[in-house]
Structure 1
Amino acid sequence: MEQLQQGSDVFFLLMGAILVFAMHGGFAFLEVGTVRHFSQVNALVKIMVDFAISTVAYFFIGFWISYGITFLVSASALTGGAEGFGPQGLTLVKFFFLCTFAAAIPAIVSGGIAERARFVPQCAATALLVGFAYPLIEGTVWNNNFGLQDTLFESMLGANFHDFAGSIVVHAFGGWAALGAILRLGPRRGRYDHPGVSGTPPSSIPWLAMGSWMLCIGWFGFNVMSAQSVAAISGLVAMNSLMAMAGGILAALIVGRNDPGFVHNGALAGLVAVCAGSDVMHPVGSLVTGAIAGFIFVQFFQLATQRWKIDDVLGVWPLHGLCGLWGGLACGIFGTEALGGIGGVTFASQFVGSLLGSAYGLVAGLIVYTLVDLIFGFRMSDEEQRRGADLTIHNISANPELDVRTGRI
């Protein structure tokens, strides 16, 4: 029976890892549908290459920083023959699962800096974020590194900072790091040259919608399987994720006046926000959390891109940064017993932890992308942007046969 339980945990976590891995296809197609046609190939290549770089950086450095475990031992030790490694390769599938979370950081950033970022600097930044910056917050929150959960949150604020599936650790960190990259990079060529210009149209609503659907489906692995064992599974997490998604969709539909881009991102906004408290909230609280997240995304995307002139192509700062921040706070509101939640959380702890995590993401993003800019030069030239990232970086477009026939290449 013990071996069956161990094998069940390995299989459970492996299925979770595969579901979250599939979400990276969602990141890719969401960006493909949102960017202009001459940047679609670049969007696809970036997400795949970023995942590979993230895997290597997290394998050699990041996982060790977060959890103190190195994989530079024998294969027999890796599969449970040494201290720190679970039986039947449990620690290995845990790495795979958490690696897909880590790789979400550059995938989030990718959408914000699309169409004007050079490729090599972005790859270097991915290695720095996933290898060094992200593991520090991951280990602090999920492994009690540095003792902050005990000394700051538990002792002074009444409860550990609670982030079940990463509203702050993954999404807020990634969204605020993306803002640092966006501010360093500046807007695309011609984006704000003419007063009254509100934006550039997406290249494909169907591809955008496909990306959103892939992310929504994979998110149930992201949230539910954050339990990391069969014994800890809770149907409440699935229900709360579903209700938050619905709330985000409906709010974005109303506030965004039926805009399909807002509707499909509204689903993601709700799911981002519910990650932190999906295991402690009541479904009604999750519905409200998701609805507020949908409102936040639409309103702040418009404010950022139109009034504040922040050229965030996919709206990753409002979607992940702000909705993730809201999710951390919402856990401290709707997770309390007074509002139907399971309890074990305090608003003070969630408030401080959410602000600290978001601020750390912004500082990390500014440092990392300033560094790669100084070393490599981060921004494509105006002529390279005019030609498009596909031809400039990859020497091929999304429809090469058509380009050959028309003489474009």
Structure 2
Amino acid sequence: MEMSWEQSITYSINTVYLLFSAYLVFVMQLGFAMLCAGSVRAKNAMNIMLTNVVDAVVGSISYYLFGFAFAFGDTSNPFIGTNFFALKDVPNTSFDYSFFLYQWAFAIAVAGITSGSIAERTQFSAYLVFSFFLSGFVYPVVAHWVWSSSGWLSASSTNPLFASGAIDFAGSGVVHMVGAVAGFWGALIEGPRVGRFDAFGKPVPMRGHNATLVVLGTFLLWFGWFGFNPGSFDKILVAYPSTTNQGNWTAIGRTAVTTTLAGSTAGIVTLFGRRLLVGHWDALDVCNGVLGGFVAITSGCAVVEPWAAIVCGFFSAWVLIGLNIVVTKLNFDDPLEATQLHGGCGAWGLIFTGLFAKEEFVIQAYEAGDTSVVRPYGLFMGGGWGLLGCQVIELLVILGWVSVTMGPIFYAQHRLGILRISTEEEIAGLDISSHGGYAYNTHQEENQPRFYADYMRMHDHS
């Protein structure tokens, strides 16, 4: 059907905005790569950068072949989408090319979260398997539940659960918790890195080799989050009935502000909190604190006031600090704190939204500003238990779904002996044992022969 002039202008602006947001989210892959590379030891830098590239290339194929259809391919099934290979340029439908690209950028980010949890000890072939499965099936099913208009948990459904549906606007649960729960099972099944805990179970520090890359990666992720959260208004020129404002345009700027305030608050609280605990200022802890605030606000960024975003960031910092203490005592080893950061802060973000979502903003985001509609909103804002109940249900079903799918994948690889590298390879480093050389040339001429000789001797190739 031919569009009118007004519809064409609207569609053109929406497309440009959505594509620009997709490019910003894709920049987050660079941020992940820099953050991960700086957070591991130098002997594993090449490996972790390769896994980030693999997330993009493998995720592109799996998401095109399967993932996009599972997530958005059928508008009648509440549990999983179908209609494969239907991607085409049809304006204002779920199969529009620009919408696909935006959702693809989200899908490949999920595997990047998981890669941080199992860094420095995982066979590369095992990584290929789980990355394909996670981005092509596990994540898209959750996305269908929460983000498809027919999803059983969707706030955009015509008959939402508890008259509300789960509000996970940009993916504290759908993206961050999914990646974190998968990473939890991988790290748990593999066990800690060699030397991470001593004979008495006490933690041994294993600092990353390059703080500069960690800070660079953090700022790139911050930049990309402005596409991740505000960009999730994929229909930005909606005209609100019975109002005098400019529709969703009014919410985009607010969403960017709440994102910034939550991350900034979490960063400053982490700065002082860790100063009290360890006795010195630590830039790397602050970087993770900032990212934890972003993860938490991602669920409710469009439906809360700026002051509430500060509350979100404050508590997300303590969630991260507390979980890091707990997992260390349990001898759980996650080199990038991905399970605690994306899982713990993501879970808090879902609960936070159920407590602080404002009625006016919920109507803006999910009812096109139609003030005649009544629906649940934040419990602390007077909106009842409906929304909070949906948020808790989303949290629980993500834990269950990812556990029953990714847990067996990791365990099967473990039993087959194809998940973790050998102790000798881990000591020598993944770069030399699996990728033919180190990421850095500095002093490589004098160091590589010795390391390679040690590796060959330990591996006993004679």
TM-score under structure 1 length normalisation: 0.91
**Aligned-residue offset at 1:80:** 3.0
Q: Which residue of 2 aligns with 1:223?
A: 229
Alignment equivalent of 1:247, drawn from 256, 265, 268? 265
Query: Alpha-carbon deviation of 1:292?
Result: 0.7
Worse-superposed segment, 17-26 or 363-372: 363-372
1:348 aligned onto 2:348: no
- Asked if 1:118 corresponds to 2:123, the answer is yes
1:172-202 Cα deviation digits (max 9, x unpaired): 1111111011111111112223333342122
**Residue aligning to 1:173:** 178
Aligned-pair CA distance for 1:374: 3.9
Residue 17 of structure 1, aligned match among 11, 19, 22 = 22
- 1:294 paired to 2:317: yes
The equivalent of 1:392 in structure 2 is 433
**Match in the other structure for 2:285:** 262
TM-superposed CA distance for 1:85, in Å, is: 6.5
User: How far 1:267 sits from its partner (Å)?
Assistant: 0.7
Relative distance call for 1:166 and 1:203 in structure 2 (3 A) is same
2:85 corresponds, among 58, 65, 72, to 72
- Contact preservation (8 Å) 2:152, 2:161: no
Secondary structure at the aligned position of 1:147 is classed as coil
Q: State how 1:6-405 maps to structure 2 within 5 Å.
A: 6-68=11-73, 72=85, 78-80=88-90, 84=93, 91-145=96-150, 147-149=152-154, 157-195=162-200, 196-231=202-237, 232-233=248-249, 234=251, 235-257=253-275, 258-304=281-327, 306-337=328-359, 346-375=387-416, 377-400=418-441, 402-405=443-446
Distance in 2 between residues matched to 1:276 and 1:211, nearest whole Å: 22
- The one-letter amino acid paired with 1:397 is Y
How far did 1:35 drift? 0.6
> What RMSD, in angstroms, separates the aligned Cα atoms of the two structures?
2.5
| Maintained 8 Å contact 2:117/2:339 | yes
Measured after TM superposition, the shift of residue 376 of structure 1 is: 5.9
Distance of 2:161 and 2:28 partners within structure 1: 37
Task: Pick closer, same or farther for the CA change 1:238–1:155 going to 2, 3 Å.
Answer: closer
* More displaced stretch, 139-148 vs 285-294: 139-148
Amino acid at match of 1:387: A
Question: Which has the bigger relative contact order, CA under 8 A and spacing at least 6?
Answer: 1
Higher helix share: 1
- Contact 1:249 / 1:264 at 8 angstroms: preserved in 2? yes
Paired AA for residue 26 in structure 1: G
Determine if contact 1:158/1:349 at 8 Å carries over to the other structure: no
Q: Distance in 2 between the 1:46 and 1:383 partners? A: 21
Structure 1 residue 147: deviation in Å? Answer: 3.3
Aligned identity (percent) is 29
Deviations 1:18-57 (A, max 9, x none): 0000001111111111111101111111101121101110
Between 225-234 and 176-185, report the one with greater CA deviation. 225-234
- Asked if 1 retains the 8 angstrom alpha-carbon contact of 2:118 and 2:335, the reply is yes
Report how many aligned residue pairs link the two structures. Answer: 399
Taking the aligned partners of 2:234 and 2:417, their CA distance within structure 1 comes to 40
Where does the alignment leave 5 or more consecutive residues of structure 2 unmatched? 1-5, 74-81, 238-247, 276-280, 360-377, 453-462
What's the CA shift string for 1:268-302, capped at 9, x where partnerless? 10010001111111111111111111111122113
Aligned-partner Cα distance in 2 for 1:4–1:342: 39
CA 1:227/1:129 → structure 2, altered by over 3 Å: closer, same or farther? same
Separation in 2, partners of 1:333, 1:5: 34
TM-score, L = length of structure 2? 0.81
Q: Structure 1 residues 335, 183: CA separation in 2 closer, same or farther (over 3 Å shift)?
A: same
Shift of 1:149: 4.4
Secondary structure of 2:85's match?
Answer: coil
1:154–1:329 distance in 2 versus 1, CA, 3 Å: farther
Q: What code does the residue aligned with 1:360 have?
A: W
Tell me the distance in 2 between the aligned counterparts of 1:145 and 1:156. 11
Comparing 32-41 and 256-265, the one that deviates more: 256-265
